[in-house]
Amino acid sequence: MKLKKVLALLSAAAMSATMLTACGKVESSESTTETAKNFKIGVVQIMEHSSLNTIRDAVVGRLAELGFKDGENCTIDCQQANGEPTTVSQILDQFKADEADIIVAITTPCAQIAAPYSAEIPVVFSAVTDPIAAGIVDSLESTGANITGTSDALEISKILDLALQTTPDLKTLGYLYNTGEDNSVSCLEKVKDYCKDKDIKLEIASATNTSEVQEAISTLADKCDAVFSPNDNTVAGAMGTVAEVMNKAKKPMYVGADSMVQDGGFATIGIQYDDLGIETANMVASILNGEKKASEIPVKVFNEDLSTFINRSTAEAIGFKIPDEIANGEKTVFFD
């Protein structure tokens, strides 16, 4: 009996040890999983304005939907550079020092500066009009590096067709941009071709920072029947000033982004910018989950399923009546 009792005690002790060991393994596994989920995501944009903030907020919101919740299982560090390229570099250096797992670069200037960092850290860009011309990728289908992203390539001809439709007496068109933004420079060439084809005189004015925008837009408002600006960050950052000048002149301001219409521009044809942010976040999640490398994800160009955006308050301010075929269109979106 004593022998049996001893064996029983030894057996029970062995079972207890096994259970404790098993429990230890589960706790260790959970800890490792939790650590693996704690990604560091760096987001940089060139400056604060509605278009870029829309993209940034959509990126963060979509990542949360996909399980990457800031402050819970990941850290999302959103920074803006006040329009200064040197500040972008400083922000990226800090992301690198913090051992970020991925970088999100919003706008062409940020993506250009972030591209070299892709040698060590995956980079996903957003709102880059022409990533090939900007020297960021080799091709849209295969980027050739540890970098990919989304493009807001403008349908220039469609926007200017809208301008002719709503401003049939358009004889002189103004073009407002920052010569330092490659996306705006590439758009200018397309605008030149369009104006030449339609026999429209083109007046060009530039502003290298938001403080110069008022003088540039005032000059164009005096000379032109309408003004167009692409998705230019400098102009977008001063849309309040631009809208005030153009409304006072009773002339339409056509722009490159829906948020620029929301901020006072008259009209555009394009995409909704939160779609850019959502798709950018999808790419980020795919990379962090180990499903694909950045180099394996084609650049997504948003040039289909476009909407017409009209600012109703601006239309009233400049005395424009929206044609019924536009006002009643299925893809027409109004801002007030």
Instruction: Provide the pLDDT for residue 336.
Output: 87
3-state percent breakdown (helix, strand, coil) of the chain, nearest 5: 50, 20, 30
Q: Residue 37 — pLDDT band, cuts 50, 70, 90?
A: low
26 pLDDT more than 60:
no
Mean predicted confidence (pLDDT) in 13-27:
38
Residue 18 burial by Cβ neighbours in a 10 Å radius (0-12, 13-18, 19+):
exposed
Contact assessment for residue 78 and residue 56, using Cβ atoms and an 8 Å cutoff:
yes
pLDDT value at residue 14: 43
- Band of pLDDT at residue 6, cut at 50, 70 and 90: very low
**pLDDT band at residue 303 using 50, 70 and 90 as cut-offs:** confident
Give, in order, the Cα–Cα distances in Å from 182 to each of 72, 178, 188, 285. 38, 9, 10, 28
On the question of pLDDT at 28 being above 90, the answer is no
Average pLDDT, the chain: 89
CA dihedral 219, 200, 331, 272 (to 10 degrees): -50
Q: What is the pLDDT of residues 254-292, one digit of tens each?
A: 999 999 999 999 999 999 889 999 999 999 999 999 999
pLDDT at 51: 86
Position 211 pLDDT exceeds 70: yes
The answer to whether 118 and 147 are in contact (CB under 8 A) is yes
* In the predicted structure, residue 23 carries a pLDDT above the cut 80: no
- When pLDDT is cut at 50, 70 and 90, the band that residue 7 belongs to is very low
Q: Are 114 and 125 in contact (CB under 8 A)?
A: yes
Would the pLDDT of 33 be above 70?
no
Per-residue pLDDT tens over the stretch 61-114: 999 999 999 999 999 999 999 999 999 999 999 999 999 999 999 999 999 999
Backbone φ, ψ for residue 90 (5° rounding) = -65, -40
- Mean pLDDT on 212-217: 96
* CATH code, 38-152+272-301: 3.40.50.2300
Whether residue 195 contacts residue 173, with contact meaning beta carbons closer than 8 Å, is answered with yes
Banded pLDDT at 252 (limits 50, 70, 90): very high
Equal CATH topology for 38-152+272-301 and 156-270+306-335:
yes
CATH topology of domain 156-270+306-335: Rossmann fold (3.40.50)
CA distances from 299 to 55, 111, 144, 165, 282 (A): 16, 13, 11, 32, 12
Q: Flag the least confident range among 7-11, 165-169, 213-217, 221-225.
A: 7-11
- d(CA 93, CA 13) in angstroms, rounded, equals 55
The structural domains of the chain, with segments of one domain joined by +, span 38-152+272-301, 156-270+306-335
Burial class (CB in 10 A: 0-12, 13-18, 19+), 29: exposed
Nearest to 113 by CA among 73, 96, 30, 278: 96
pLDDT at res. 225? 98
Q: CB burial class (10 A; 0-12, 13-18, 19+) of residue 89?
A: middle
Q: Give the pTM.
A: 0.79
> Would you state the pLDDT for residue 20?
36
Q: What is the largest CA-CA distance in the chain?
A: 111
What are the tokens at 67?
A: 């399980």
Token pair recorded at residue 30: 């959970």
Q: What is the pLDDT of residues 113-153, one digit of tens each?
A: 999 999 999 999 999 989 998 999 999 998 879 999 999 88
pLDDT bracket for residue 203 (50, 70, 90): very high
What pLDDT is stored for residue 295 in this prediction? Answer: 94
Alpha helices in the chain (DSSP H): 2-37, 50-65, 85-97, 108-114, 156-166, 182-198, 213-223, 233-236, 239-249, 258-262, 273-288, 312-318, 324-327
Radius of gyration of the chain (CA): 26
